[in-house]
């Protein structure tokens, strides 16, 4: 495993808190009816986003699904603009037109989240293909859940990505559930990573609640992809500590199961590691307190921000500029 500096580990700690706290505000405001639609939180799964995205640059492409907040923040998008988008404000990354499930921030390589389960996979293959054709050294990363692996497009995309040697990293967040159905009930295939071998794709199943393990696996996989093309698949075993969406009463899980998940909280785990490496507890508390203030300020500002003007509803539907004949 790479020997990461305390500084780098502290940045991971900060990012984990940023996602956790931002989503805490989403939960609170959703319960108060201030968030349009059904937000899906990644509470407990943040280490996957942070560990993978720490290996990406702004130019790399990212695709996500309905549980996207953490991925977009970890990729480096402005948390204020992400939060403003989630509550439908004009300052949002999509000028308030997308909301929680449709976050796009092209300036940061975030080509999109989607509520269509598995719909992001083939789009990510398209972006990876574009990068390959252009030879610009970019890669594409797609985050999806274990439930998405039951969709045909998952297998079609594995096949095409392998055939065309696309620079594409598949990141499965296996949280053991598709909505309210456990993995045992929706698939007889134990490990998602076993789907990769028949297509000739290298894959690894790993502890997705340990940000260091995720970071290391992603570093190696992305290193292979950048060197040889691709693709690679990482199956990150994790836990959804929140409901499927805000408001899910979670009657399908026992109290014992929920308590066991809390034991594996990725933030506590990284904190224990940092302390064992000599990080002062006071400094770690300071990081969390600073991010808490930062998020509270972002939320206050976003709540006061304007909603998009209804008269502009047709703006951004079509590209304002047509490509020149040479580009077309
Ligand atoms: C094409 C499609 N089918 C069904 C749904 C309804 N749906 C929303 S989330 C979900 C489960 C997804 O499970 P998984 O991929 O494991 O992601 P997780 O919610 O666990 O992060 C389903 C079936 C949908 N949004 N899109
Ligand atoms: Mg799942």
Residue nearest to atom 21 of ligand 1 (CA): 145
- pLDDT for the residue 137: 95
Q: How far apart are CA 242 and CA 297, in angstroms?
A: 24
User: Which ranges of 106-246 does DSSP label H, i.e. alpha helix?
Assistant: 119-134, 152-163, 183-186, 211-228
**For residue 180, which ligand has an atom nearest its CA?**
1
In a domain, 188, yes or no: yes
The CATH number given to whatever domain includes residue 216 is 3.40.50.970
266-276 vs 281-304: helix axis angle to the nearest 10?
140
Asked if residue 255 and residue 147 are part of one domain, the reply reads no
Beta sheet of 110-113, edge-to-edge order: 110-113, 61-64, 140-145, 168-174, 232-237, 202-207
DSSP H or E run through 261: helix 255-263
The parent domain of residue 281 ranges over 1-35+249-304
CA 220 remoteness from chain centre: 19
**For residue 117, which ligand has an atom nearest its CA?**
1
Domain count, the chain: 2
Please tell me the pTM assigned to this model: 0.96
Q: Which tens digit of pLDDT belongs to each residue from 232-291?
A: 999 999 999 999 999 999 999 999 999 999 999 999 999 999 999 999 999 999 999 999
How many angstroms separate the alpha carbon of residue 146 from the centre of ligand 2? 5
In a domain, 313, yes or no: no
Asked if residue 240 and residue 149 are part of one domain, the reply reads yes
Closest CA to 140 of 199, 46, 63, 228: 63
- pLDDT for the residue 327: 61
258 phi and psi angles, rounded to 5 deg: -65, -40
In a domain, 106, yes or no: no
Asked if residue 259 and residue 192 are part of one domain, the reply reads no
Residue 78 pLDDT > 60: yes
67 lines ligand 1 (CB under 6 A): yes
Q: pLDDT-derived band of residue 45, with 50, 70 and 90 as boundaries? A: very high
In a domain, 19, yes or no: yes
């Amino acid at each position: 495993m790479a020997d990461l500096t305390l500084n780098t580990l502290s940045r991971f700690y900060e990012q984990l808190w940023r996602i956790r706290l931002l989503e805490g505000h989403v939960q609170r405001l959703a319960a108060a009816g201030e968030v349009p639609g059904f937000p899906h939180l990644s509470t407990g799964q943040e280490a996957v986003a942070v560990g993978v995205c720490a290996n990406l640059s702004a130019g790399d492409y990212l695709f996500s699904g309905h549980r996207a907040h953490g991925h977009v923040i970890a990729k480096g998008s402005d948390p204020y603009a992400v939060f403003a988008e989630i509550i439908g404000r004009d300052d949002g990354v999509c000028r308030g037109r997308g909301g929680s499930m449709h976050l796009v921030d092209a300036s940061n390589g975030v080509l999109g989240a989607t509520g269509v389960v598995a719909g992001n996979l083939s789009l990510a293959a398209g972006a990876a293909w574009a990068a390959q054709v252009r030879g610009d050294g970019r890669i594409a990363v797609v985050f999806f859940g274990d439930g998405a692996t039951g969709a045909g497009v998952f297998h079609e995309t594995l096949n095409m990505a392998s055939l065309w040697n696309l620079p594409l990293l598949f990141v499965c967040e296996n949280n053991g559930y598709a909505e309210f159905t456990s993995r045992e009930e929706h698939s007889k295939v134990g490990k998602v990573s076993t789907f990769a071998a028949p297509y000739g794709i290298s894959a690894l199943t790993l502890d997705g609640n340990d940000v260091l393990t995720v970071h290391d696996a992603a570093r190696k996989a992305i290193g292979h992809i950048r060197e040889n093309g691709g693709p690679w698949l990482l199956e990150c075993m994790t836990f959804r500590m929140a409901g499927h969406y805000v408001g899910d009463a979670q009657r399908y899980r026992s109290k014992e199961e929920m308590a066991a998940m809390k034991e594996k909280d990725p933030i506590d785990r990284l904190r224990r590691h940092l302390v064992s490496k000599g990080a002062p507890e006071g400094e770690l508390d300071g990081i969390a307190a600073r991010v808490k203030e930062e998020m509270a300020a972002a939320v206050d500002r976003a709540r006061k921000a304007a909603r998009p003007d209804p008269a502009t509803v047709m703006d951004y539907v079509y590209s304002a500029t047509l490509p020149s004949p040479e580009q077309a």
